[in-house]
Amino acid sequence: MKLKGDETMEMLILTKAEMEQVMTMREVIEGDKEALAAYSKGDADIPLRTNIAVNKYGGQSLYMPGYVQSADSLGLKIVSVYPENVKKGITSVPGSMILLNAQTGEVKALMDATFLTQLRTGAVSGAATDLLARKDSSVFALIGTGGQAQAQLEAVLAVRPIKEVKIFSPTAEHAAAFAKKMQALFAEKYGVNITAVGSYDEAVKDADIITAVTTAKEPVFNADSVKKGAHINGVGSYMPDMQELPEEILQRAGKIYVDTRDGVLNESGDIIKPVEAGRFSHDRITGELGELVLQKTTGRETAEEITVFKTTGSAVLDLVIAEKIYAAAVAQGLGTVISM
């Protein structure tokens, strides 16, 4: 506890292992709903990301600041992309989240943003699935087995009574190893059977929920394989040349939600490519997920309609979840405090 006149600053350092202990996936999902509602209400100040090219080392450093008034969360996420790091045996996408005390402007916490990003991104698909998928959904298809995939899987398992998960990625060994690891982690906890399958369409056929979380530049499944009433999360495409969702599925969907209009309409090839081809228009977007949380828009209306959620991510999710993790860690006495 600081006394008046004491000018030292106290900062809490949180590692991934500590962050993993403080919140359940269900709690993070509810946190993401709060964050998107705050964003859609205009309660969040999220300036444009600043990108710095560090050409000397072939790197890019990205700075994502923001303030969410209702959550009193002020901070900055720094994520860098250094492809050459792989040769050095270190992560190519190092990330840190800095949280400030909104009342004083002092830095109060530093935490692992690689894990924070996985958690809040999984949870945002979980939030959309909770709000849009049929309640009786039991088969889940996951396409992509990279860094984001585990949190994407757990988020869906946390909100629907899934019995069967079918996993596909282009490298069969990756998919098999990932499925085995996930089966060991989640089979008992969620009463589910998780296996790798040999093709996109085998994964998607019969699936009630589909999540695509890849770096693909072309659609990763065939719209004709998607059954009526399915819910689809599109997570990967965040640049105009990236695409995972077949445009026919957007045309067929009854409702299409996005995390932020700004992000998705300006950045994602899933929307930009069909719009540029003249086969889709922005007025087909039903709304932001935050508007659905605020009950300003309508969710699923029939068991047959296809629902789609597209996310490109937003600092509002990082800020709200980081603040909740910080508060929970302080309450549980976790982390390392340093004085400066």
In whole angstroms, how close is the CB of 188 to ligand NAD at the nearest point? Answer: 25
In whole angstroms, how close is the CB of 311 to ligand NAD at the nearest point? Answer: 4
The alpha helices in the chain, defined as continuous H runs, are: 16-22, 25-40, 113-132, 149-159, 172-190, 200-204, 247-252, 261-267, 269-276, 289-293, 315-332
Measured CA to CA, the distance from residue 225 to residue 202 in angstroms comes to 8
Nearer to ligand NAD, 178 or 326 (CB): 178
The 3-state DSSP class for residue 297 equals: coil
In whole angstroms, how close is the CB of 44 to ligand NAD at the nearest point? Answer: 16
Q: Which value, to the nearest 10 degrees, does the dihedral of the CA atoms of residues 195, 197, 202, 204 take?
A: 50
**163 carries an active-site annotation:** no
- Taking CB under 6 A as the rule, does residue 240 contact ligand NAD? no
Contacts to ligand NAD from residues 251-310, by CB under 6 A = none
Nearer to ligand NAD, 107 or 175 (CB): 175
Of the candidates 77, 166, 255, 273, the residue annotated as catalytic is 77
Q: Identify whether the C-beta of residue 287 lies closer than 8 Å to the C-beta of residue 297.
A: yes
Within 10 angstroms of residue 275's Cβ, the number of other Cβ atoms is 16
In whole angstroms, how close is the CB of 193 to ligand NAD at the nearest point? Answer: 21
Nearer to ligand NAD, 107 or 116 (CB): 116
- Taking CB under 6 A as the rule, does residue 73 contact ligand NAD? no
What are the backbone angles phi and psi of residue 44, rounded to the nearest 5°? -120, 135
Measured CA to CA, the distance from residue 59 to residue 66 in angstroms comes to 23
- Taking CB under 6 A as the rule, does residue 225 contact ligand NAD? no
Contacts to ligand NAD from residues 102-131, by CB under 6 A = 117, 121
**How would DSSP label each residue in 101-145?**
-TTT--EEEEEEHHHHHHHHHHHHHHHHHHHHS-TT--EEEEE--
The only residue of 66, 95, 122, 144 in contact with ligand NAD, by rule CB under 6 A: 144
Contacts to ligand NAD from residues 180-219, by CB under 6 A = 213-216
Nearer to ligand NAD, 153 or 213 (CB): 213
Task: Choose one: 69-77, 154-162, 168-176, 180-188; the region binding ligand NAD (CB under 6 A).
Answer: 168-176
Measured CA to CA, the distance from residue 45 to residue 316 in angstroms comes to 8
Count of residues that interact with ligand NAD, criterion CB under 6 A: 23
What are the backbone angles phi and psi of residue 138, rounded to the nearest 5°? -130, -10
- Taking CB under 6 A as the rule, does residue 313 contact ligand NAD? yes
Nearer to ligand NAD, 287 or 335 (CB): 287
- Taking CB under 6 A as the rule, does residue 147 contact ligand NAD? yes
Nearer to ligand NAD, 37 or 107 (CB): 37
The only residue of 80, 129, 145, 307 in contact with ligand NAD, by rule CB under 6 A: 145
Measured CA to CA, the distance from residue 108 to residue 59 in angstroms comes to 28
What distance lies between CA 167 and its chain's CA centroid? 18
- Taking CB under 6 A as the rule, does residue 148 contact ligand NAD? yes
- Taking CB under 6 A as the rule, does residue 312 contact ligand NAD? yes
Measured CA to CA, the distance from residue 126 to residue 23 in angstroms comes to 15
- HSE toward the beta carbon, residue 328, CA cutoff 13 A: 17
**Which residue do the tokens 């999710």 mark?**
317
Nearer to ligand NAD, 37 or 213 (CB): 213
Closest CA to 142 of 242, 213, 220, 235: 213
User: Where do contacts with ligand NAD occur on this chain (CB under 6 A)?
Assistant: 117, 121, 143-149, 169-171, 213-216, 220, 235-236, 238, 311-313
Residues assigned a catalytic role? 77
